Structure 1
Amino acid sequence: MSFHVIRAADVSPQPWKNGMGVTREIARFPARAGSEDFSWRISVAEVNSASPFSTFPGIDRQIVLLDGEGFHMTLDGSSTHALTTPYAPFAFPGEAQVEVAMAGGATRDFNLMVRRAWGSGSVRVLRESGSHVPDPECVLVYVARGTVTTIDGDLEAGDAWLPDCSPFEMAEGSVVLLALAAAG
């Protein structure tokens, strides 16, 4: 078993910071950091009903719809965004007051949070099968759909890999999310 592979089945659910939903934290840096002092954090959240998002002052967030019909986000009472297209990252500030109106049933969403004072982050979506080498700032490879082969073993949808410089192979029809984070 590799310490670089994180299996979906091994990630326990925990309540959102505001208690209004459930998330599964995949990774954070530093590993022993708490909710108030992490540099970056990656999780998969379940949104089951209209509710406010937790606020994270000083944090830049990226959210990606994985499953479900999505939802409509209202930020600070005025700006809106429809998170209804799977695998389309959306960035917003963590201190924004976000209200959600469901477009349908429950959803699952990939989340990258990066502390602004530490650096920056983004989510890049890969859809091309074949061999890929992670960017130097790639901190996590998340299999959103399909299968991926790494030096540490095979991954299925929902699994994640903490990459080194080794390439990985995406099967036809797979979708991978790369979480990128860089200090500075």
Structure 2
Amino acid sequence: MNLTLIRGDALVASPWKNGGGVTREVASRANAWRASIADIDRDGPFSRFDGIDRLLMVLDGAGVTLGSHGVLRAFDVARFAGDAPIAAQLASGPVRVFNLMTYRGAARASVERLRTPGRRALGTDTALLLCAQGSFDVRAGETRIALSRFDTLRIDGAHSVEIDIQGDGVLVCASLDTEADS
């Protein structure tokens, strides 16, 4: 198990491929997956990413409609192919989203929202614990790490790892598995 703390205030904003918003890369694994926090501040099409599957969770804002997925509100999730034509229509003002992109056939991703403190067993290649609201203390092994808003704890080699989560708010748990490791 390898732990890496990624501070939200250290994330660097980069323009989208199509210029329609900004993204801040949280973590990635070459030729497998990429996780980011993106700001959508206007209606418009998403960039096209051939061979990529996407998973998007709304973190902030009144909501967004993504094609046929209907209106997504806080902590709703949409899955779609990166090569599908998807357009965003904002419900009322900008939104911030957690975006997972996986190379089709190379990696798989899932995401869940945690609100209840306690112990949790992980069973994944890489886990990303993103503090979406509030603050948390996460203990993995003998290490305890404090997470504030938009901080992420990356746990590589998270197979059979037990963590203890204490705090109040919303913690997003992303599980990422590469096909070679499965």
Q: Report if TM-score (shorter chain) is over 0.5.
A: yes
Deviations 1:6-37 (A, max 9, x none): 0110001001111211000000103xxxxxxx
Relative to structure 1, the CA distance from residue 166 to residue 4 in structure 2 (aligned partners, 3 Å threshold; closer, same or farther) is farther
Contact 2:119 2:162 in 1 (8 A): no
Q: How does 1:59-74 map to 2 (within 5 A)?
A: 59-74=52-67
Note the aligned Cα RMSD (angstroms): 1.8
Question: What is the deviation of 1:152?
Answer: 4.6
Percent sequence identity over aligned pairs = 31
Q: Which moved more, 1:57-66 or 1:159-168?
A: 159-168
The aligned residue for residue 147 of structure 2 is 155
Distance 1:133 1:147, change over 3 A: farther
Structure 1 107/18 Cα, relative in aligned 2: closer, same or farther at 3 Å? same
Q: Deviations over 1:89-123 (max 9, x none)?
A: 21111111111111001110001111112031111
3-state SS of the aligned residue for 1:9?
helix
Aligned CA distance change for structure 1 residues 27 and 15 (closer, same or farther; 3 Å): same
Is contact 1:84-1:103 (8 Å) kept?
no
Match of 1:4, as an amino acid? Answer: T
Higher percent of residues as strand: 2
In the alignment, what sits opposite 1:77? none
Structure 1: any 5+ residue segments left out of the alignment? 31-37, 75-79
User: Counterparts of 1:83-102 in structure 2 under 5 Å?
Assistant: 83-102=71-90
Residue 110 of structure 1 corresponds to which residue in structure 2?
98
Q: Does 1:49 align with 2:12?
A: no
Alignment of 1:30-49 (within 5 A): 30=30, 38-49=31-42
Consecutive unaligned residues in structure 2, runs of 5 or more = none
**Residue identity opposite 1:177 in structure 2:** V
- Secondary structure at 1:135 match in 2: strand
Q: Deviations over 1:15-61 (max 9, x none)?
A: 1111211000000103xxxxxxx310000000001111111111111
Any runs of at least 4 consecutive aligned residues in structure 1 with deviations exceeding 6 A, and if so which? none
Aligned to 2:116: 128
Q: What is the match of residue 139 of structure 1?
A: 127
Q: Decide whether the 8 Å contact of 1:65 with 1:83 is kept in 2.
A: no
Cα–Cα, structure 1 residues 16 and 159, in superposed 2: closer, same or farther, change >3 Å? same
Distance 2:173 2:117 in 1: 14
| Secondary structure of residue in 2 paired with 1:4 | strand
Please show how residues 7-22 of structure 1 align to structure 2 within 5 Å: 7-22=7-22
| C-alpha distance in structure 1 between counterparts of 2:120 and 2:126, whole Å | 12
